[in-house]
Amino acid sequence: MPRIYSLSHLTTEGLTPPQMIALAAQVGYDAVGLRLLPTTPGGMAFPLMDEAALLRDTQTAIAENGVGVFDLELVRLDDAFELERYLPFLEVGGTLGARAVLVAGDDADRSRLIDNYAALCEAARPFGLSADLEFMPWTTVSGLIHASDIVAKVAQPNATVLFDALHFDRSRSRLEDLDALPRHWLNYAQICDGPVPGPTAHAEMIRAAREERWLPGEGGIDLGAIWRRLPEDLPVSVEVPDKRRIAALGAKRWASDALAASRGLIEGL
């Protein structure tokens, strides 16, 4: 089965869901990832659960372009998490035929985080959605080993670890930790590159992750060693935001370059 390549929201941030889907089809992606909820207060998002016309336009774009929705962003498990707030989000995910929900864990109360994650998994399952827990070095789920431990404790069939190459490198996670992951704990992985060593201050880590990633092969992250350990059929989310180069080249050219670099590196292994 051919590997799925999905266009991440951040790689073309600013395009509406229908625009993203049309662009993805033009340059050769199989799917897209849509941000329906902001990652920060006031951040960019397209709340399809609240905008019926945009939801209809998105469904039309899917049908006309043959490009589906792979993942939805973002559910944040923090100390203010309330599952009921996310039920319309999950319902839209089912309507769109999405496969995954990106989950950020950022609650210092570990027991509460695990309980809320389990509840989210149970709520997402009827809609055919996995709940993919992404580790990020500036959150309370800061590394691969932490995310793995939480997924193990939750023990839900749709609880998985979301692997991001940049976060793997900057959280100082180990290849041995990746080797130890059961196959069914992996649903997709995000690819990009960056300088090594990278920033160590959290504020700069966050800025670089959102605004200044490099094309696969341009930086020092050992993507070859990583992807040799990942399943050959694992879907790939191409998440390569670079505000400067997107402004200079345009969203279509940048999305095309990011796909070519990602596919070239992975399929050349």
Q: What tens digit of pLDDT does each residue of 107-120 get?
A: 999 999 999 999 99
Give the span between the Cα atoms of 194 and 221, in whole angstroms. Answer: 6
pTM of the model: 0.96
Q: Does the pLDDT of residue 42 top 90, yes or no? A: no
Share of the chain above pLDDT 70, in %: 100
pLDDT at residue 2, as a whole number: 85
Domain tally, the chain: 1
- Average pLDDT of 208-217? 96
* Helix-helix angle 52-65:17-27, to 10 degrees: 10
Q: What is the CATH number of the domain that holds 118?
A: 3.20.20.150
pLDDT at residue 7, as a whole number: 98
CB 16 within 8 A of CB 54: yes
User: Residue 32 is part of which domain span?
Assistant: 5-267
Question: How many Cα neighbours within 13 Å face the side chain of 111?
Answer: 0
Share of the chain above pLDDT 90, in %: 96
- Average pLDDT of 176-188? 93
CB 128 within 8 A of CB 96: no
Please give the full DSSP string across the chain, using - where no structure is assigned. Answer: -PPPEEE-GGGGTT--HHHHHHHHHHHT-SEEEEE-S-SSTT-----TTT-HHHHHHHHHHHHHH--EEEEEEEEEESTT--GGGGHHHHHHHHHHT--EEEEEE--S-HHHHHHHHHHHHHHHGGGT-EEEEE--TTSSS-SHHHHHHHHHHH--TTEEEEEEHHHHHHTT--HHHHHTS-GGGEEEEEE-B--SS---SHHHHHHHHHHB-B-TTSSSS-HHHHHHHS-TT--EEE---BHHHHHHH-HHHHHHHHHHHHHHHHHT-
pLDDT at residue 53, as a whole number: 98
* pLDDT tens by residue, 18-41: 999 999 999 999 999 999 999 988
* pLDDT tens by residue, 67-115: 999 999 999 999 999 999 999 999 999 999 999 999 999 999 999 999 9
pLDDT at residue 1, as a whole number: 66
